[in-house]
Structure 1
Amino acid sequence: MSIFKTRQNKKFNYTPRYYKGEENPFEIKHKFDEYRKTVGKVGLKGKFENAWDDYKNTPDASANKRTLIIVAILIFIFLLIIGFDLSIFFSKG
């Protein structure tokens, strides 16, 4: 036993209870990572291109409409709260 040597940690051959043997059980990854293109390490330009492709190829166009409607309603409520004069948006007959 020497003063200058550090003690080595013990190593155990532990496998989790419900381990199926396919992957590393201690790897943490998101549920939908295998379905996304933006997860891989491609570089900054590649990440932006993949994100843009994912955005343009969304299968549900009604979700985009719904998001825009919700944002418009929230902006309208915000303008009402701060007392913005909304009469500039309507014509005076």
Structure 2
Amino acid sequence: MGLLKLRKNKKFSYTPRYFDDKGEGNPFEIKHKFDEHRKTIGNNGFKTKLNNALEDYKNPDKKANKRVLIIVAILILVFLFIIDFDLSIFFS
């Protein structure tokens, strides 16, 4: 009656080569680089994640925000130069 039984999976005693023996975490777990700095990662509820994301959005880093605005302005000027837009309409 081997037709109705399923085969069992083979089990191996594999240990990763570069896994530290201190037992810190699971060696097979894939984590992102900045997971420990994010509030929205974890088994929190949807409402908690949404509140944390809105809190992070309301208190942005001022330097990063300024840098993004400068980069966007430079890209817009380069685009206007490429399409040969006449900037003299803004200046009298």
TM-score, normalisation: structure 1: 0.74
Q: 1:49 to 1:82 in 2, by over 3 A?
A: farther
Residue equivalent to 2:84:
83
One-letter amino acid matched to 2:71: I
TM-score, normalisation: structure 2: 0.75
**Between Structure 1 and Structure 2, how many residues are aligned?**
89
CA distance in 2, matches of 1:12, 1:28: 21
Instruction: Report how far residue 77 of structure 1 moved.
Output: 0.9
Match of 1:55 among 54, 57, 70: 57
Could you report, residue by residue, the CA deviation over 1:17-73 in whole angstroms, capped at 9, with x for unpaired residues?
232312111000112101110222431x43333223223434x52222111111101
- Which blocks of at least 5 consecutive residues in structure 2 are unaligned? none
Cα RMSD over matched residues?
2.1
- Which blocks of at least 5 consecutive residues in structure 1 are unaligned? none
Residue equivalent to 2:28:
26
Instruction: Report how far residue 79 of structure 1 moved.
Output: 1.5
Identity of aligned residues (%): 69
